[in-house]
Amino acid sequence: MKPTRYMLDTDTFSYLVTNRYPAVREHVRQHQAKIVLSSITVAEALYGARKKGSLRLEDLIELFQDLFVVIDWDAPAASAYADIRVALERAGTPIGNMDMMIAAVAKASGCVLVTNNQAHFCHVPDLVLENWVV
Segment 2-27, tens digit of pLDDT: 669 999 999 999 999 999 999 999 99
Backbone angles phi, psi at 10, to 5 degrees: -60, -40
What is residue 1's predicted lDDT score, i.e. its pLDDT? 56
CA-based R_g, the chain, Å: 14
**CATH for 6-130, among 3.10.310.70, 3.65.10.10, 3.40.50.1010, 3.20.20.70?**
3.40.50.1010
CA distance 130 to 11: 13
Segment 22-79, tens digit of pLDDT: 999 999 999 999 999 999 999 999 999 999 999 999 999 999 989 999 999 999 999 9
Instruction: Give the start-to-end residue ranges of the domains of the chain.
Output: 6-130
What is residue 76's predicted lDDT score, i.e. its pLDDT? 98
